[in-house]
Amino acid sequence: MRAIGNFIDGRSIAGDSRRSGRVFDPNTGAQQAEVAFSTAGDVDAAVKAGLRAFPAWASLNPQRRARVMFAFKALVERDLDELAYLLATEHGKVRADARGDIQRGLEVIEFACGIPHALKGEFTEGAGPGIDVYSMRQPLGVCAGITPFNFPAMIPMWMFGIAIACGNTFVLKPSEKAPSVPVRLAELLLQAGAPAGVLNVVHGDKEAVDALLAHPDVRAVSFVGSSDIAQYIYSTGAANGKRVQAMGGAKNHGIVLPDADMEQVVRDLVGAAFGSAGERCMALPVVVPVGSKTADDLRERLVPEINRLRIGASTDPQAQYGPVITAGHRQRIEDYIRTGVDEGAELVRDGRGFTLPGHEQGFFIGPSLFDHVKRGMKSYHEEIFGPVLQIVRAESFEEALALPSEHQYGNGVAIFTRNGRAAREFARTVNVGMVGINVPIPVPVAYHSFGGWKRSAFGDTNQHGMEGVRFFTRLKTVTARWPEGDVGDQGFVMPTMR
């Protein structure tokens, strides 16, 4: 049985805890590894390693830090197939989707390679007589990231890539359900030239999380996960004096206007709703057709397309999606499907009870489609996080706009239309953080920033891009004067710029 330990100060360490978690292969249902859970002492060791590494790393000029990120990018690209296989067999994503997970993380690393430009401050010459004012962005110290199971490569790289390029050191607490790729990334960063202690990885559950939130030397915490935990991370971290960004859950809507290209909409919806078995915070699990004719046409087209979906093992190159992460998560999805039926929604296609020949013990679930879902239903209000698409019918543009705007989550939304004016008005007024116009999954490119609104995000700063740089640095402003003679009594009065 493979044992997965912490990665602290440049080496693998088993840790002090006697507790551990099981890591499964979702394709077979078999346990493939055991991951050691961290104690508060293990977390403290990781933070102290970051503290020791911080002064030298922070004082290194940005170009040299960028060179490490360039080398890291090259090593990840070299090992892309190995990493994708490891990711797929722990998470359950098909291999192509696993490669996409890694590639989207690498795009943030590419942005981090330009950190010398991103860290440039502002300068005003002659703000007053002989006075110049300039600003600089400086690293915070030891930062921490707590990441979910659904993107074991991308989200860690979103966090530590920017933080480390800015001059911080980092402690990563990945999901205990998919821990291997984060450890491998830390090993590759060390090979790329980052000193030991710059990136540390600790495994565990709430005990490790609470230790990070309470540790006095952790300056900032970045989190992605469910909304209830995000709110806990935000409130607890802030109460302990830390800078916190905490991204929560989602219930993303796709608004379909009558003039939309329906063939393209169906292709986009099927991929966005069922890709990665729906285990994406930017999945599109709710579609809102405007008008009964649009709804009937959409449903008629969706059913055969969903029936053609190929579900398979992660290693199957023809599979469009694989298993979900655990048996417990599969049960949770099936419970939501049962809830939807009990609430009176029409279950057009039932994905429960699906088994894959040759993988009968794997954590597979077929695609499900609901119609006539209403806004008051629990199955609509809450995040299912599985291969379930719900049709919520709207009679007007205004009603369709209100659905995502009034929902508890505000991560992403999409509108499908040929009407530029309607799309512009929708993008301007919808109460959601990320908007796609004929784009089903509107995840911004790496040099923009990712973040939702309402219960999809806690904190004021988004992930990656310049928002990420601002989160992982603090601003210092300098007002300088070089007088020719004695300053006299001017030091006793408030300086002005007259």
- Write the pLDDT tens digit of every residue in 104-162: 999 999 999 999 999 999 999 999 889 999 999 999 999 999 999 999 999 999 999 99
The tokens describing 30, both together, are 């078999």
Residues designated as active site:
281
Q: Which residues of 186-204 are buried (b: 16+ CB within 10 A; e: fewer)?
A: bbbbbebebbebbbbbbbb
**CATH class of residue range 253-437:** alpha beta
305 burial type by CB count under 10 A (0-12 exposed, 13-18 middle, 19+ buried): middle
Average of per-residue pLDDT values in the chain: 95
| pLDDT confidence band for 498 (50 / 70 / 90) | low
Axis-axis angle for helices 95-112, 154-165 (nearest 10): 10
Q: Are 276 and 93 in contact (CB under 8 A)?
A: yes
**CATH class of residue range 2-248+456-478:** alpha beta
Which has the closest alpha carbon to 495: 125, 131, 123? 131
Q: Are 38 and 5 in contact (CB under 8 A)?
A: no
Question: How many residues would you count in the chain?
Answer: 498
The tokens describing 216, both together, are 């006095």
Summarised one tens digit per residue, pLDDT across range 249-300 is: 999 999 999 999 999 999 999 999 999 999 999 999 999 999 999 999 999 9
Instruction: Read off φ and ψ for residue 34, nearest 5 degrees.
Output: -130, 130
**Calpha distance 419→441 (Å, rounded):** 19
Residue 483: per-residue pLDDT: 81
- The proportion of the chain whose per-residue pLDDT surpasses 70, expressed as a percent, equals 97
Residue 18: per-residue pLDDT: 84
CB atoms within 10 A of CB 371: 22
Q: What is the pTM of this model?
A: 0.94
Average pLDDT over residues 327-336: 98
CA-based diameter of the chain, in Å? 88
Average pLDDT over residues 449-464: 94
Res 497 pLDDT > 90: no
Res 25 pLDDT > 60: yes
β-pair type (457-458, 30-36): unpaired
Where are the domains positioned within the chain? 2-248+456-478, 253-437
CB atoms within 10 A of CB 84: 24
Res 173 pLDDT > 80: yes
